Chain A
Amino acid sequence: KNQVEQSPQSLIILEGKNCTLQCNYTVSPFSNLRWYKQDTGRGPVSLTIMTFSENTKSNGRYTATLDADTKQSSLHITASQLSDSASYICVVIFGTALIFGKGTTLSVSS
């Protein structure tokens, strides 16, 4: 069964600190992997898109990595800000299907 698992389920960090979110997937073959940010009460917004041949992709303070051999991805957030508080969702594209993880809820406190 195609699945996307994320960890941790939730995370609390202090403003200015770094953090790393994990995503493991069993989708095969997959086309690309995306990380989305979902603010409370809003729809998901794309942060990064990586194909199976890419190892890393950055978008400002967000850096995503992908290891297609181990089927693992991570999202690293540098120098966190209060506005980073949101749910971060890993999504694997499989043909025309988007397979979502359950997300990691990040809370950044001052």
Chain B
Amino acid sequence: GAGVSQTPSNKVTEKGKYVELRCDPISGHTALYWYRQSLGQGPEFLIYFQGTGAADDSGLPNDRFFAVRPEGSVSTLKIQRTERGDSAVYLCASSLGAGPNYGYTFGSGTRLTVV
């Protein structure tokens, strides 16, 4: 596609439920990043994929968070047993590669609200 697509754009879920957030990167982009952005804050790193593998998952806050990218394109961020503190905008970015020589394109994010 022309840009990074994230679905859904908004998700409201009850505390304790399971949610999946989807990111469809720009075609051909091998690097894919997930970030979490709370109100009034900058994006915080969660996980980075190079192809199908998670090259760096050091930003995932705990084992309730998990992300996959089975075919090296679409990625899904999965959150189990959601808590109110998980409420935030989840941003996805993709790039042709990772590092300073590459441009990063962000999606518009998924706004997750846990009630």
Which chain A residues have a beta carbon within 8 Å of chain B's beta carbons? 4, 31-32, 41-46, 49, 51, 89, 93, 95-103, 105
Known interface pairs A41-B108, A96-B55, A96-B56; A101-B99 also in contact (CB < 8 Å): no
Count of B interface residues, CB-CB < 8 Å: 25
Contact check, B41 vs A51: say whether CB atoms are below 8 A apart.
no
* Top 10 A-B residue pairs of the complex, sorted by shortest distance between their CB atoms: A43-B106, A31-B100, A100-B42, A96-B98, A93-B100, A102-B42, A32-B100, A100-B43, A44-B106, A42-B108
Contact check, A46 vs B104: say whether CB atoms are below 8 A apart.
yes
Which residues of chain B are within 8 angstroms of A101 by Cβ–Cβ distance?
Answer: 42
B1 in the interface (beta carbon within 8 A): no
A102: which of B41, B48, B91, B108 is its contact (CB, 8 Å)?
B41
Contact check, B108 vs A89: say whether CB atoms are below 8 A apart.
no
By beta carbon, the residue of chain B nearest A41 is B108
Which residues of chain A are within 8 angstroms of B56 by Cβ–Cβ distance?
Answer: 96-97
Known interface pairs A43-B91, A43-B93; A96-B42 also in contact (CB < 8 Å): no
A8 to B87, CA, bound (A): 26
Contact check, B44 vs A100: say whether CB atoms are below 8 A apart.
yes
With A31-B99, A41-B109, A96-B99 known, 7 other A-B pairs at CB within 8 A are: A41-B108, A43-B105, A43-B106, A95-B99, A96-B31, A97-B45, A97-B56
Contact check, B41 vs A96: say whether CB atoms are below 8 A apart.
no
Which residues of chain B are within 8 angstroms of A95 by Cβ–Cβ distance?
Answer: 99
Which residues of chain A are within 8 angstroms of B53 by Cβ–Cβ distance?
Answer: none
